[in-house]
Amino acid sequence: MSDEIQSVRGFHDIFGEELVKFRRITLTVREILRLHNFEEIILPVVEYAELFQRSIGEITDIVQKEMFTFQDKKGRWLALRPEGTAGAVRAYIQHRMYADRPYRKLFYEGPMFRYERPQAGRYRQFHQIGAEIFGVGDPEADFEIIEIVYKILKKLNIDVVIEINSLGCLKCRPAYKEDLVKFLNKVEENLCNVCKERKDKNPLRVLDCKVETCREIFKSSPKMLDYLCEECKGHFEKLQNLLNSSEIPYRVNTSLVRGLDYYSRTVFEAVSDDFNTTIIAGGRYDYLVEQLGGSPTPATGFAVGVERTALLLSDVAEYVERYIVIPFGNVKEYAIRVANILRRKGHPVEFSYRKGGLRKQLEYADKMGFRYAVIIGEDEMHEGKVTLKDMREGVQVTKNIEEL
């Protein structure tokens, strides 16, 4: 025997139980997005690396350490997409999607790639389903996004908290940054090395540090919410009013900054306290379209991490009433016809390829969780009948095929 080839570290096969959860999540999100009238776009997996450098930001973990980049045969730098927003913005601009309408609501689904250290719920290829609203600056759009996230959590019966914060705008953030840097300079000695390095290049990212001693220090750092200009403050208040009046629970987390640089004003994450992980995240990014060459267009959106959400989904043993058709003797064509009669009525039906006697066949049907075994021998065929065995109840009846 030759050596077995394994999948690449961090790249996983999804099947069985996990796949049932996976589909449950994506179908649920799709259904909610359909009701909110979002339109699907299938985006490429490969983009120019520059797209992500210019959007996610040079001084972020994703761009500095986690991107799968490579050169094509002409020496151009390409990247496997680490997320969907940048590609959606690129497509929005490239196809002039703003031309025929004042705003546009898009969603996408597919694999994303980040070179992270794999662990439970963290992969190098993972899946997101995300949505973006382009062209609406009003807090009502942020509300719609968070409302959708809440509906997803409710529908999937997942108990996590939605945390929100505001990162202000280009008008009010500089003053905050300045004070934050002053603060960080004062406590520099006690910061971890990564924070020391980031403090000057991208001070806001410092607040996202997971090191316990740093987190303790940041408790007394200046907070963006105290620096918001009137417009940003009004926006954040309006959003909270909308959430309150819809009874959507949330908590304000003043140190929520997100791992990508393009955000302005609203940011949010659905966080599991028990598992110490974020499963859904997003926010507003009013400057990104312009930054990538479009005209100024406010935008907001979210993305569900499918694998991570699957971790929190309780068992979804869906009881599907499946049939297995078991032929004995020279009855195969008749049995195939019977299987198709049942399929036409919408039942999932397996035509048994297993060899062996009735006892073996029924054991197999039981083990594989089929609800009904349709047993067909030559007698049944000549009479236009089948023997139907209810595997759960253990009862057996003979039926004409018209009665199936």
Strand partners of residue 325: 351, 374
Q: Evaluate whether 145 touches 301 at the Cβ level (below 8 Å).
A: yes
Supply the DSSP string of 305-348, one letter for each residue. EHHHHHHHSPP-------EEEEE-SS-HHHHHHHHHHHHHTT--
Q: Is 308 in the site for ligand HAM (CB under 6 A)?
A: yes
Neighbours of 272 (CB within 10 A): 18
Taking contact as CB under 6 A, which single stretch among the options 28-36, 273-281, 332-340, 392-400 is the one that binds ligand HAM? 273-281
Q: Is 87 in the site for ligand HAM (CB under 6 A)?
A: no
C-beta of 88: minimal distance to ligand HAM in Å?
8
C-beta of 95: minimal distance to ligand HAM in Å?
18
Total site size for ligand HAM, rule CB under 6 A: 26
Residue of 110, 111, 135, 259 interacting with ligand HAM (CB under 6 A):
259
Q: Is 84 in the site for ligand HAM (CB under 6 A)?
A: yes
Tell me the one-letter amino acid at 295. S
Q: Is 278 in the site for ligand HAM (CB under 6 A)?
A: yes
Q: Evaluate whether 309 touches 279 at the Cβ level (below 8 Å).
A: yes
Closest to ligand HAM by CB, 84 or 377: 84
Q: Is 217 in the site for ligand HAM (CB under 6 A)?
A: no
Q: Which two tokens stand for residue 280?
A: 């859904």
272-276 long-range contacts, Cβ below 8 Å, gap at least 24?
272/159, 272/160, 272/161, 272/312, 273/160, 273/161, 275/121, 275/311, 275/312
Q: Is 282 in the site for ligand HAM (CB under 6 A)?
A: yes
Residue of 38, 57, 79, 83 interacting with ligand HAM (CB under 6 A):
83
C-beta of 291: minimal distance to ligand HAM in Å?
14
C-beta of 216: minimal distance to ligand HAM in Å?
24
Q: Is 85 in the site for ligand HAM (CB under 6 A)?
A: yes
**CA dist list (Å): 92 to 104, 275, 288, 318:** 9, 36, 11, 39
C-beta of 40: minimal distance to ligand HAM in Å?
15
Taking contact as CB under 6 A, which single stretch among the options 167-175, 302-310, 312-320, 344-352 is the one that binds ligand HAM? 302-310
> How does strand 372-376 pair with strand 323-327?
parallel
Q: Which two tokens stand for residue 216?
A: 């303790």
**CA–CA dist 350, 280 (Å, integer):** 37
The contact mask relative to ligand HAM for 90-129 (x = CB under 6 A, - = no) is: ------------------------x-x----xxx--x-x-
**CA–CA dist 164, 169 (Å, integer):** 16
Which residues sit at the interface with ligand HAM, rule CB under 6 A?
Answer: 83-85, 114, 116, 121-123, 126, 128, 130, 132, 259-260, 278-283, 301-303, 305, 307-308
